Protein backbone atom coordinates (compact mmCIF):
# COMPACT_ATOMS: atom_id res chain seq x y z
CA UNK A 1 0.00 0.00 0.00
CA UNK A 2 1.07 3.58 -0.61
CA UNK A 3 0.03 6.46 1.61
CA UNK A 4 -3.22 6.86 -0.32
CA UNK A 5 -4.11 3.34 -1.39
CA UNK A 6 -2.90 0.34 -3.41
CA UNK A 7 0.30 0.67 -5.41
CA UNK A 8 -0.30 1.60 -9.06
CA UNK A 9 0.28 -1.16 -11.59
CA UNK A 10 3.34 -0.74 -13.78
CA UNK A 11 2.59 -0.02 -17.42
CA UNK A 12 6.12 0.67 -18.65
CA UNK A 13 8.03 -1.36 -21.24
CA UNK A 14 9.63 -3.54 -18.55
CA UNK A 15 6.34 -4.49 -16.88
CA UNK A 16 6.59 -8.21 -16.07
CA UNK A 17 10.38 -8.13 -15.70
CA UNK A 18 11.59 -8.99 -12.19
CA UNK A 19 14.80 -7.46 -10.86
CA UNK A 20 16.60 -8.38 -7.64
CA UNK A 21 18.67 -5.43 -6.47
CA UNK A 22 21.62 -6.07 -4.18
CA UNK A 23 24.20 -3.52 -3.13
CA UNK A 24 23.71 -0.04 -1.76
CA UNK A 25 24.36 3.69 -2.04
CA UNK A 26 24.11 5.09 -5.58
CA UNK A 27 25.85 3.28 -8.44
CA UNK A 28 23.85 0.04 -8.21
CA UNK A 29 20.58 1.41 -6.81
CA UNK A 30 20.31 4.14 -9.44
CA UNK A 31 20.40 1.39 -12.07
CA UNK A 32 17.54 -0.27 -10.19
CA UNK A 33 15.69 3.05 -10.07
CA UNK A 34 15.89 3.35 -13.86
CA UNK A 35 14.64 -0.21 -14.39
CA UNK A 36 11.84 0.35 -11.87
CA UNK A 37 10.82 3.59 -13.56
CA UNK A 38 10.53 1.61 -16.80
CA UNK A 39 8.06 -0.74 -15.12
CA UNK A 40 10.18 -3.59 -13.77
CA UNK A 41 9.33 -5.17 -10.43
CA UNK A 42 12.43 -4.30 -8.39
CA UNK A 43 12.99 -6.31 -5.21
CA UNK A 44 15.64 -4.59 -3.12
CA UNK A 45 17.51 -6.73 -0.60
CA UNK A 46 18.64 -4.78 2.49
CA UNK A 47 20.45 -5.57 5.70
CA UNK A 48 17.97 -6.11 8.57
CA UNK A 49 17.90 -3.25 11.06
CA UNK A 50 19.95 -0.79 9.03
CA UNK A 51 19.11 -1.06 5.35
CA UNK A 52 20.73 0.93 2.58
CA UNK A 53 22.83 3.84 3.95
CA UNK A 54 20.96 6.06 1.49
CA UNK A 55 18.15 6.00 4.03
CA UNK A 56 20.37 8.28 6.14
CA UNK A 57 21.86 10.45 3.39
CA UNK A 58 20.87 13.94 2.28
CA UNK A 59 21.23 17.46 3.59
CA UNK A 60 17.69 17.48 4.99
CA UNK A 61 15.82 14.67 6.76
CA UNK A 62 12.39 15.97 7.81
CA UNK A 63 10.77 13.74 10.42
CA UNK A 64 13.81 11.47 10.14
CA UNK A 65 13.05 10.56 6.52
CA UNK A 66 15.67 10.86 3.79
CA UNK A 67 14.37 12.72 0.76
CA UNK A 68 17.22 11.24 -1.27
CA UNK A 69 16.03 7.75 -0.37
CA UNK A 70 12.50 8.70 -1.44
CA UNK A 71 13.90 9.21 -4.95
CA UNK A 72 16.52 6.47 -5.37
CA UNK A 73 14.33 3.91 -3.59
CA UNK A 74 11.19 4.66 -5.57
CA UNK A 75 9.24 1.93 -7.34
CA UNK A 76 11.10 -0.72 -5.30
CA UNK A 77 9.99 -3.36 -2.84
CA UNK A 78 12.14 -3.59 0.30
CA UNK A 79 13.02 -7.05 1.61
CA UNK A 80 15.33 -7.40 4.60
CA UNK A 81 17.75 -10.30 4.43
CA UNK A 82 21.21 -10.82 5.88
CA UNK A 83 23.25 -11.88 2.87
CA UNK A 84 26.24 -12.69 5.06
CA UNK A 85 24.51 -15.79 6.40
CA UNK A 86 23.96 -19.10 4.57
CA UNK A 87 20.21 -18.87 5.09
CA UNK A 88 20.18 -15.31 3.77
CA UNK A 89 22.13 -16.38 0.72
CA UNK A 90 19.60 -19.17 0.17
CA UNK A 91 16.79 -16.59 0.32
CA UNK A 92 18.56 -14.56 -2.36
CA UNK A 93 19.16 -17.59 -4.57
CA UNK A 94 15.49 -18.56 -4.39
CA UNK A 95 14.42 -15.08 -5.41
CA UNK A 96 16.99 -14.94 -8.19
CA UNK A 97 15.87 -18.31 -9.57
CA UNK A 98 12.58 -16.75 -10.66
CA UNK A 99 13.92 -13.34 -11.68
CA UNK A 100 15.13 -11.86 -14.94
CA UNK A 101 17.83 -9.49 -13.72
CA UNK A 102 20.13 -9.07 -10.73
CA UNK A 103 21.87 -5.75 -10.09
CA UNK A 104 24.73 -5.39 -7.61
CA UNK A 105 27.56 -3.00 -6.80
CA UNK A 106 29.60 -4.92 -4.26
CA UNK A 107 33.36 -5.08 -4.53
CA UNK A 108 34.23 -7.73 -7.15
CA UNK A 109 34.53 -11.17 -5.57
CA UNK A 110 31.80 -10.63 -2.97
CA UNK A 111 29.12 -12.60 -4.78
CA UNK A 112 31.63 -15.33 -5.49
CA UNK A 113 32.44 -15.65 -1.76
CA UNK A 114 28.73 -16.02 -1.07
CA UNK A 115 28.37 -18.83 -3.62
CA UNK A 116 26.42 -16.58 -5.97
CA UNK A 117 28.83 -16.34 -8.88
CA UNK A 118 27.20 -16.06 -12.30
CA UNK A 119 27.90 -19.67 -13.26
CA UNK A 120 26.08 -20.90 -10.17
CA UNK A 121 23.15 -18.52 -10.51
CA UNK A 122 22.71 -19.13 -14.24
CA UNK A 123 22.83 -22.90 -13.85
CA UNK A 124 19.46 -22.58 -12.11
CA UNK A 125 18.29 -19.69 -14.30
CA UNK A 126 19.97 -19.72 -17.74
CA UNK A 127 18.22 -16.52 -18.86
CA UNK A 128 19.49 -14.47 -15.93
CA UNK A 129 21.12 -11.11 -16.63
CA UNK A 130 23.57 -10.03 -13.93
CA UNK A 131 24.39 -6.30 -13.98
CA UNK A 132 27.54 -5.58 -11.98
CA UNK A 133 28.65 -2.03 -11.18
CA UNK A 134 32.05 -1.42 -9.57
CA UNK A 135 34.81 1.12 -9.47
CA UNK A 136 37.17 -0.62 -11.88
CA UNK A 137 35.20 -3.50 -13.41
CA UNK A 138 35.30 -7.23 -12.75
CA UNK A 139 38.71 -7.80 -14.39
CA UNK A 140 42.12 -6.14 -14.51
CA UNK A 141 44.74 -5.38 -11.84
CA UNK A 142 42.56 -2.74 -10.13
CA UNK A 143 39.37 -4.80 -10.00
CA UNK A 144 39.70 -5.64 -6.29
CA UNK A 145 40.24 -2.03 -5.25
CA UNK A 146 37.57 -0.11 -3.41
CA UNK A 147 36.21 2.35 -5.95
CA UNK A 148 33.90 5.26 -5.21
CA UNK A 149 32.33 7.48 -7.82
CA UNK A 150 34.71 10.32 -7.01
CA UNK A 151 37.72 8.14 -7.82
CA UNK A 152 36.16 7.08 -11.11
CA UNK A 153 35.50 10.74 -11.95
CA UNK A 154 39.16 11.51 -11.29
CA UNK A 155 40.63 8.59 -13.23
CA UNK A 156 38.08 8.82 -16.04
CA UNK A 157 39.26 12.36 -16.79
CA UNK A 158 36.27 14.40 -15.63
CA UNK A 159 37.65 16.01 -12.49
CA UNK A 160 40.65 17.50 -14.30
CA UNK A 161 38.51 19.52 -16.70
CA UNK A 162 35.83 20.68 -14.23
CA UNK A 163 36.19 24.05 -12.52
CA UNK A 164 37.91 27.38 -13.00
CA UNK A 165 41.49 27.35 -14.31
CA UNK A 166 42.59 29.32 -11.23
CA UNK A 167 41.47 26.58 -8.83
CA UNK A 168 42.34 22.92 -8.24
CA UNK A 169 40.18 20.36 -10.07
CA UNK A 170 36.56 20.62 -8.96
CA UNK A 171 33.62 18.28 -8.77
CA UNK A 172 30.15 18.43 -10.27
CA UNK A 173 27.63 19.03 -7.48
CA UNK A 174 26.03 15.59 -7.86
CA UNK A 175 27.36 12.02 -7.79
CA UNK A 176 27.83 12.00 -11.54
CA UNK A 177 30.35 9.13 -11.69
CA UNK A 178 27.98 6.78 -9.88
CA UNK A 179 24.97 7.76 -11.95
CA UNK A 180 26.86 7.46 -15.22
CA UNK A 181 27.96 3.94 -14.30
CA UNK A 182 24.37 3.12 -13.38
CA UNK A 183 23.11 4.48 -16.69
CA UNK A 184 25.60 2.38 -18.63
CA UNK A 185 24.62 -0.64 -16.52
CA UNK A 186 20.95 -0.03 -17.29
CA UNK A 187 21.68 0.34 -21.01
CA UNK A 188 23.69 -2.87 -20.97
CA UNK A 189 20.92 -4.64 -19.07
CA UNK A 190 18.33 -3.60 -21.63
CA UNK A 191 20.61 -4.83 -24.41
CA UNK A 192 21.15 -8.16 -22.65
CA UNK A 193 17.42 -8.65 -22.01
CA UNK A 194 16.73 -7.95 -25.68
CA UNK A 195 19.47 -10.32 -26.88
CA UNK A 196 18.00 -13.01 -24.64
CA UNK A 197 14.88 -13.03 -26.84
CA UNK A 198 17.08 -14.47 -29.61
CA UNK A 199 19.46 -16.74 -27.68
CA UNK A 200 17.41 -17.64 -24.60
CA UNK A 201 20.54 -17.02 -22.54
CA UNK A 202 21.47 -14.32 -20.08
CA UNK A 203 24.90 -12.79 -19.53
CA UNK A 204 26.93 -10.49 -17.29
CA UNK A 205 26.85 -6.71 -17.73
CA UNK A 206 30.13 -5.26 -16.38
CA UNK A 207 29.93 -1.49 -15.78
CA UNK A 208 33.02 0.22 -14.31
CA UNK A 209 32.68 3.73 -12.93
CA UNK A 210 35.95 4.99 -14.43
CA UNK A 211 34.96 3.61 -17.86
CA UNK A 212 31.49 5.16 -17.65
CA UNK A 213 33.10 8.54 -17.02
CA UNK A 214 35.66 7.94 -19.78
CA UNK A 215 32.81 7.03 -22.10
CA UNK A 216 31.36 10.56 -22.00
CA UNK A 217 34.68 12.40 -22.27
CA UNK A 218 34.21 13.18 -25.94
CA UNK A 219 37.51 13.34 -27.87
CA UNK A 220 40.03 14.00 -25.09
CA UNK A 221 42.11 10.90 -25.80
CA UNK A 222 42.61 11.33 -29.58
CA UNK A 223 43.11 15.07 -29.03
CA UNK A 224 46.09 14.24 -26.82
CA UNK A 225 47.52 11.43 -28.92
CA UNK A 226 46.95 12.79 -32.41
CA UNK A 227 46.99 16.56 -31.91
CA UNK A 228 49.07 16.84 -28.70
CA UNK A 229 46.24 18.94 -27.22
CA UNK A 230 45.40 18.70 -23.50
CA UNK A 231 42.01 20.01 -22.42
CA UNK A 232 42.22 22.20 -19.34
CA UNK A 233 39.73 23.66 -16.89
CA UNK A 234 37.88 26.50 -18.53
CA UNK A 235 35.19 27.54 -16.06
CA UNK A 236 31.83 28.24 -17.68
CA UNK A 237 33.06 27.92 -21.25
CA UNK A 238 34.57 25.45 -23.67
CA UNK A 239 37.71 26.84 -25.34
CA UNK A 240 37.07 27.88 -28.91
CA UNK A 241 33.27 27.64 -28.60
CA UNK A 242 31.90 31.19 -28.67
CA UNK A 243 29.70 32.82 -27.75
CA UNK A 244 28.47 30.17 -25.31
CA UNK A 245 28.69 31.31 -21.72
CA UNK A 246 26.87 32.53 -18.65
CA UNK A 247 26.16 36.24 -18.85
CA UNK A 248 24.93 38.80 -16.27
CA UNK A 249 21.59 40.59 -16.35
CA UNK A 250 20.50 43.95 -14.95
CA UNK A 251 18.50 42.36 -12.11
CA UNK A 252 21.41 40.23 -10.88
CA UNK A 253 20.45 36.94 -12.51
CA UNK A 254 22.62 34.83 -14.77
CA UNK A 255 21.59 33.77 -18.25
CA UNK A 256 23.17 31.09 -20.39
CA UNK A 257 23.34 32.03 -24.07
CA UNK A 258 24.54 29.49 -26.64
CA UNK A 259 25.03 31.13 -30.04
CA UNK A 260 28.23 29.59 -31.34
CA UNK A 261 26.79 28.26 -34.63
CA UNK A 262 27.15 30.67 -37.56
CA UNK A 263 23.44 31.11 -38.27
CA UNK A 264 22.58 31.42 -34.59
CA UNK A 265 25.32 33.98 -34.03
CA UNK A 266 23.84 36.06 -36.86
CA UNK A 267 20.51 36.05 -35.04
CA UNK A 268 22.21 37.04 -31.78
CA UNK A 269 24.02 39.89 -33.53
CA UNK A 270 20.69 41.10 -34.85
CA UNK A 271 19.15 40.94 -31.35
CA UNK A 272 22.10 42.94 -30.05
CA UNK A 273 21.40 45.63 -32.62
CA UNK A 274 24.74 44.90 -34.26
CA UNK A 275 23.91 42.74 -37.29
CA UNK A 276 27.23 43.72 -38.88
CA UNK A 277 29.06 41.46 -36.42
CA UNK A 278 27.87 38.42 -38.38
CA UNK A 279 29.82 39.53 -41.45
CA UNK A 280 32.79 41.02 -39.60
CA UNK A 281 35.86 38.92 -40.39
CA UNK A 282 36.76 38.90 -36.68
CA UNK A 283 33.55 36.99 -35.85
CA UNK A 284 32.19 35.65 -39.13
CA UNK A 285 33.28 32.02 -38.70
CA UNK A 286 33.26 29.52 -35.88
CA UNK A 287 37.07 29.49 -35.79
CA UNK A 288 37.35 33.27 -35.76
CA UNK A 289 34.90 33.59 -32.90
CA UNK A 290 36.78 30.96 -30.94
CA UNK A 291 40.05 32.84 -31.38
CA UNK A 292 38.44 36.00 -29.96
CA UNK A 293 36.38 34.26 -27.30
CA UNK A 294 37.13 36.66 -24.43
CA UNK A 295 36.59 39.76 -26.56
CA UNK A 296 33.28 38.42 -27.86
CA UNK A 297 32.11 37.33 -24.40
CA UNK A 298 32.75 40.86 -23.12
CA UNK A 299 30.66 42.30 -25.95
CA UNK A 300 27.77 39.92 -25.25
CA UNK A 301 27.95 40.66 -21.51
CA UNK A 302 27.77 44.39 -22.21
CA UNK A 303 24.56 43.67 -24.11
CA UNK A 304 22.90 41.28 -21.62
CA UNK A 305 23.54 43.43 -18.55
CA UNK A 306 21.26 46.12 -19.98
CA UNK A 307 18.20 43.86 -19.58
CA UNK A 308 16.36 42.16 -16.76
CA UNK A 309 16.45 38.37 -17.10
CA UNK A 310 12.84 37.94 -18.22
CA UNK A 311 13.05 40.68 -20.86
CA UNK A 312 16.35 39.30 -22.14
CA UNK A 313 14.92 35.80 -22.44
CA UNK A 314 11.95 37.12 -24.40
CA UNK A 315 14.14 39.17 -26.73
CA UNK A 316 16.50 36.30 -27.52
CA UNK A 317 13.67 33.80 -27.90
CA UNK A 318 12.05 36.15 -30.41
CA UNK A 319 15.29 35.92 -32.39
CA UNK A 320 15.47 32.09 -32.03
CA UNK A 321 18.67 32.26 -29.96
CA UNK A 322 19.06 29.41 -27.41
CA UNK A 323 18.83 30.99 -23.95
CA UNK A 324 18.00 29.85 -20.45
CA UNK A 325 18.18 30.96 -16.86
CA UNK A 326 20.38 29.08 -14.40
CA UNK A 327 17.58 27.20 -12.65
CA UNK A 328 17.21 26.25 -9.02
CA UNK A 329 14.33 24.10 -7.72
CA UNK A 330 12.05 27.12 -7.22
CA UNK A 331 12.46 28.01 -10.90
CA UNK A 332 11.67 24.47 -11.98
CA UNK A 333 8.50 24.35 -9.91
CA UNK A 334 7.17 27.55 -11.48
CA UNK A 335 8.16 26.83 -15.10
CA UNK A 336 5.32 26.16 -17.55
CA UNK A 337 7.42 23.72 -19.62
CA UNK A 338 8.10 21.58 -16.56
CA UNK A 339 4.39 21.74 -15.71
CA UNK A 340 3.18 20.90 -19.23
CA UNK A 341 5.30 17.75 -19.39
CA UNK A 342 4.90 16.75 -15.72
CA UNK A 343 8.67 16.88 -15.40
CA UNK A 344 8.17 17.02 -11.64
CA UNK A 345 5.54 14.77 -10.07
CA UNK A 346 4.07 14.53 -6.59
CA UNK A 347 4.19 11.20 -4.78
CA UNK A 348 2.30 10.18 -1.66
CA UNK A 349 4.61 9.38 1.27
CA UNK A 350 3.26 7.71 4.44
CA UNK A 351 5.28 9.98 6.75
CA UNK A 352 6.00 13.14 4.76
CA UNK A 353 2.69 13.46 2.93
CA UNK A 354 3.22 14.74 -0.59
CA UNK A 355 6.78 14.66 -1.90
CA UNK A 356 7.65 16.26 -5.27
CA UNK A 357 10.46 14.72 -7.29
CA UNK A 358 11.71 14.44 -10.85
CA UNK A 359 9.53 12.25 -13.04
CA UNK A 360 10.68 9.08 -14.79
CA UNK A 361 12.57 9.71 -18.01
CA UNK A 362 12.62 9.29 -20.98
CA UNK A 363 8.98 9.48 -22.06
CA UNK A 364 7.50 6.65 -24.11
CA UNK A 365 4.44 7.28 -26.25
CA UNK A 366 2.64 3.99 -25.61
CA UNK A 367 4.14 2.23 -22.57
CA UNK A 368 5.37 5.19 -20.56
CA UNK A 369 7.67 5.05 -17.57
CA UNK A 370 6.28 6.24 -14.23
CA UNK A 371 6.88 7.00 -10.56
CA UNK A 372 4.45 4.75 -8.70
CA UNK A 373 5.60 5.15 -5.08
CA UNK A 374 8.54 6.65 -3.16
CA UNK A 375 11.30 4.74 -1.39
CA UNK A 376 9.61 2.17 0.88
CA UNK A 377 10.01 1.58 4.59
CA UNK A 378 12.76 -0.88 5.54
CA UNK A 379 11.47 -4.41 5.11
CA UNK A 380 8.02 -3.22 4.05
CA UNK A 381 7.64 -6.02 1.50
CA UNK A 382 9.59 -8.86 3.16
CA UNK A 383 6.61 -11.06 3.95
CA UNK A 384 4.82 -10.34 0.66
CA UNK A 385 7.81 -11.09 -1.54
CA UNK A 386 9.20 -14.10 0.31
CA UNK A 387 5.76 -15.70 0.37
CA UNK A 388 4.66 -14.99 -3.18
CA UNK A 389 7.99 -15.12 -5.02
CA UNK A 390 10.31 -17.35 -2.99
CA UNK A 391 7.66 -19.77 -1.69
CA UNK A 392 8.32 -19.46 2.04
CA UNK A 393 5.44 -20.18 4.41
CA UNK A 394 4.62 -18.54 7.74
CA UNK A 395 6.70 -21.04 9.74
CA UNK A 396 9.71 -20.46 7.48
CA UNK A 397 9.44 -16.71 7.93
CA UNK A 398 9.11 -17.02 11.69
CA UNK A 399 12.25 -19.16 11.84
CA UNK A 400 14.24 -16.78 9.61
CA UNK A 401 13.13 -13.81 11.69
CA UNK A 402 14.07 -15.57 14.94
CA UNK A 403 17.51 -16.32 13.52
CA UNK A 404 18.03 -12.69 12.47
CA UNK A 405 18.14 -13.60 8.77
CA UNK A 406 15.22 -11.34 7.84
- Residues noted as catalytic: 178
Angle at 243 between CA 272 and CA 261, to 5 degrees: 95
Question: Quick check: helix, strand or coil at residue 335?
Answer: coil
Q: How far is CA 320 from the centre of its chain?
A: 31
3-state secondary structure of 326: coil
Q: 64 CB contacts (<8 Å, ≥6 apart)?
A: 351
Distance CA(238)–CA(230), nearest Å, equals: 13
| CB environment 248-257: b (16+ within 10 A), e (fewer) | ebeeebebeb
- CA R_g for the chain: 25
The CA-atom distances, in angstroms, between 377 and each of 74, 76, 201 are 11, 10, 35
Question: What DSSP string describes 93-131?
Answer: HHHHHT-SEEEE-SPTTHHHHTT--HHHHHHH-TT-EEE
Residues 212, 181 contacting (CB under 8 angstroms): yes
Query: What string of DSSP letters covers 206-255?
Result: EEEHHHHHHHTSTTHHHHHHHH-------TTS-TT--SEEEEE-TTS-EE
Amino acid sequence: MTADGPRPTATGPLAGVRVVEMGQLIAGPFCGQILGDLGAEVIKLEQPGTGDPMREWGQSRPRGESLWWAVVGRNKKSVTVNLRTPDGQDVARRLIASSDVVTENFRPGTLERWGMDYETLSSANPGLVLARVSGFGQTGPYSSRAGYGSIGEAMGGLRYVVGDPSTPPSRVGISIGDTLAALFAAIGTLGAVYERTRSGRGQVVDSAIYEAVLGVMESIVPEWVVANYQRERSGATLPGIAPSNVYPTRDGAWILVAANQDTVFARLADAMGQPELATDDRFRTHTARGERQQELDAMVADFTVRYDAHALESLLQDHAVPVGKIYRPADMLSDKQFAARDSIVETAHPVLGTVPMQNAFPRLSRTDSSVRWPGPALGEHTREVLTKVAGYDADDLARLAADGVI
